[in-house]
Structure 1
Amino acid sequence: MTPQQFAARLLAEPAHAGLYRCAPGWVQDSAEILWRPLAAAPIAREPLLAALGTALAFPAYYGQNWDAAWDCLTELDWPAGRLLALRLPLAPGCAVDEAALEVFLELLDDACRHWAEQGRALCLLLETRREDLSCLRALPMLE
C-alpha cells in the first residue's frame, strides 16, 4: 500500500485511523497528507510530550503532561479532506522507556478515535522494524 492509498482509505473511512508501523523510508510526500514528524530522542515521557507539542504547534500554555496533551489533541484544527499523520522514528538501538511509549500510544490512539468520531482522520506512524518492544507488536505494519 502506498502512502496515497493509505490516506485515501483513512479519509474514506476515518474509523480505520489509528496507530500503524511502517518501514523507514515508506513515507512519501502527498497532497492528501499533512506529515508532522516527532523528533523525540530518547523515547521517554518528556521528549515525547515536547516533540508532540512542537510538531502540532500546541499553544504556549501547553503544560507538557499527559492531560494537557489530551486537551490540545482534542482542540486541533487542520484542513478538511486531509489526513493528519504524525511520524515517530524508532531507530535500532534508540533508548526507549517502554512504559512512557505505551502511555503515549494509548493517548494517540484515543485521539485518533476522538477525531474519527468527528469524521476526521488522524494517525500515528511509527517508522521502525523493531520487534523488541512489546507495545508495538499489535500494531499493523504498512508495506
Structure 2
Amino acid sequence: MSESGWELGLADAENAGVYFVTTDDLDTLGVAARDAGLQVRRIDLGGADKSTLLLRIATALDFPGTFGRNWDALADSLRDLSWLPAAGFTLLFENGGDLQQGGTEDFDTLLEILEESAQEWGERHIPFWSFIALPESVFDEIDAAAAD
C-alpha cells in the first residue's frame, strides 16, 4: 500500500497512457503518482497557444536549452527525458478544456504525441501517464451521448 493509502496501479506501464479527468482528480493523482515513485509534473494548458504550450511543457520538464520548440522536438524530448531520471512519469495537465475548445489542431496533436510517448516508454516497462483535466460539462456530454 502506498503512503497516501491509494493504490491506483500507477507503477504499471501496461496501463499507462492519456486519460481525461476532472480538475478535482489532479491532486489525488499527483499524490498517488508520487507515492508510486514517479516523477510528477503539473502543466497549465489554460490560454495557451502552441508556442506557450510548448514553452510550458519544456519548462515543467526541464528540457535542455537546445529544445526546438516545435511538435517534432516535443515528441523527441518526451521520448528521451534522460536528464530527468525516474521510475516513471506523470504529467498533470490543468485547464485542458481551454486547449480542447481552442479551435486549433493543437489539442489533437498534443494527445497524439503523449500517447505515442506512453507507448514507447511502455515498451521499456516505464510508466508514462498523462492526465488531462477537462470541464465536468465534457463528461456530462459524453454520458448523454452514451445514453442515446
Please classify the TM superposition score into its range, dividing by the shorter chain length: 0.7 to 0.9
Q: Which residue type is aligned with residue 11 of structure 2?
A: L
Identity level (%):
21
Cα deviation, 1:101-140, whole Å, max 9, x if unaligned, reads 10001001000101000000011101223418x9xx6xxx
* Number of the residue aligned with 2:138: 131
Larger mean CA deviation between 86-95 and 108-117 belongs to: 86-95
Q: What is the total number of aligned residue pairs between the two structures?
A: 128
Q: Which amino acid aligns with 1:41?
A: G
C-alpha change, 1:64 and 1:4, in structure 2 (3 Å) is farther
Match of 1:35 in 2: 40
Question: Structure 1 segments of 4 or more deviating over 3 A?
Answer: 91-95
Secondary structure in structure 1 of the residue aligned to 2:14 = helix
More helix by share: 2
The 1-side partners of 2:89 and 2:47 are apart by: 24
Q: 1:21-51: per-residue Cα shift (whole Å, max 9, x none)?
A: 1221222324224220112332432222111
SS in 2 for 1:85: strand
Give CA deviations for 1:67-117 in whole Å, capped at 9, x if unaligned: 11111111114322xx41111112766762441110001001000101000
* Structure 1 equivalent of residue 20 of structure 2: 21
Specify the structure having the higher radius of gyration (Cα): 2
1:64 and 2:69 aligned: yes
Name the CA shift for 1:93/1:70 in 2 (closer, same or farther; >3 Å): closer
Q: TM-score, normalised by structure 1?
A: 0.75
Q: Report the aligned-residue RMSD.
A: 2.7
SS at match of 1:59: coil
Q: 1:55 aligns with which of 53, 60, 65?
A: 60
- Secondary structure of 1:123's counterpart equals strand
Provide the rounded CA distance (Å) in 2 between the counterparts of 1:65 and 1:38.
Answer: 17
Q: Residue 120 of structure 1: which of 118, 123, 126 is its match?
A: 126
